[in-house]
Amino acid sequence: MSHKRVAILISGGGSNMVSLVDSMTGDHPARPCLVLSNDANAGGLTKAAERGIPTASVDHRPFKGDRAAFEAELLKPLEEAQPDIVCLAGFMRVLTGGFVSRFQGRMLNIHPSLLPKYKGLNTHARAIEAGDAEHGCSVHEVTAALDDGPILGQARVDIEPGDTSEALAARVLVWEHKLYPTVLRRYASGDRTPVLLP
Ligand code: GAR
């Protein structure tokens, strides 16, 4: 069987990347081909290398906000790896429509909210502030609009009285690590039916 090739883009610790990489064994239809970061010091790069995954980084800072120029460099190692699927996993740079369109229909993202609620940053604090009873995470196909695109899966987490954003983020992250591998496995086998957890 020929496996689907999965490139994973990260910016930090890469715990979601690890959950994806560690899921792609046995009869899984995909295998990791690259872990790519916009930060050479991202902790996730070491974790990927320890797992024998090729890694690369392109620092966004020298581009001083010129997103198209940054993305042109980012594309080089990414296209070289010839991914069938690109997973954004805690990748904290906003991508232009031009970049996204190259991977349209084969790029996924995990976002820490029950989309369409709380696109962007500080999602956990905003959910608490709003007095929501529940929060969670979503995996969606990436389109040109930020944190938009067809939802492929969601996991719900109750917000407890007195919750802090840190405590809530930690509980949501546990579900991110279940949701993303579940969605990727389905997606790699051509199944777009949304996953709902727990
Ligand atoms: C995760 O919670 C992920 O959902 C979030 O960043 C964290 C990365 O953690 N992503 C976003 O906020 C994207 N807008 P990780 O590096 O340990 O996977």
171 is in which domain, residue-wise?
A: 110-198
If asked whether residues 13 and 97 sit together in one domain, one would say yes
Angle formed by the axes of helices 15-23 and 43-50, to 10°? Answer: 20
Residue 140 pairs with which residues in a beta bridge?
109, 151
Provide the whole-model pTM: 0.98
If asked whether residues 92 and 118 sit together in one domain, one would say no
- pLDDT the model gives residue 173: 98
If asked whether residues 184 and 151 sit together in one domain, one would say yes
- Domain end point (choices 78, 103, 128): 103
- pLDDT the model gives residue 93: 97
For the Cβ of 142 lying below 6 angstroms from any atom of ligand 1, the answer is: no
Mutate to test the pocket of ligand 1, among 35, 87, 168, 173 (most ligand atoms within 8 A of CB): 173
Other Cβ atoms closer than 10 A to 41: 10
| Annotated catalytic residue 111 | yes
CB 112 within 8 A of CB 166: no
CA 92 / ligand 1 centre spacing (Å): 8
If asked whether residues 90 and 8 sit together in one domain, one would say yes
For the Cβ of 15 lying below 6 angstroms from any atom of ligand 1, the answer is: yes
For the Cβ of 136 lying below 6 angstroms from any atom of ligand 1, the answer is: no
- Domain end point (choices 56, 78, 103): 103
Which residue in 1, 47, 51 sits closest to 26, CA to CA?
Answer: 1
- Domain end point (choices 103, 130, 159): 103
What CATH number corresponds to the domain at position 186? 3.40.50.170
If asked whether residues 97 and 77 sit together in one domain, one would say yes
If asked whether residues 166 and 68 sit together in one domain, one would say no
For the Cβ of 39 lying below 6 angstroms from any atom of ligand 1, the answer is: no
Distance CA 61, CA 46 (A): 21
- pLDDT the model gives residue 161: 96
CA 111 / ligand 1 centre spacing (Å): 7
Question: From the candidates 111, 124, 135, 140, which is the catalytic residue?
Answer: 111
Domain count, the chain: 2
* pLDDT tens, N- to C-terminus, the chain (198 residues): 699 999 999 999 999 999 999 999 999 999 999 999 999 999 999 999 999 999 999 999 999 999 999 999 999 999 999 999 999 999 999 999 999 999 999 999 999 999 999 999 999 999 999 999 999 999 999 999 999 999 999 999 999 999 999 999 999 999 999 999 999 999 999 999 999 999
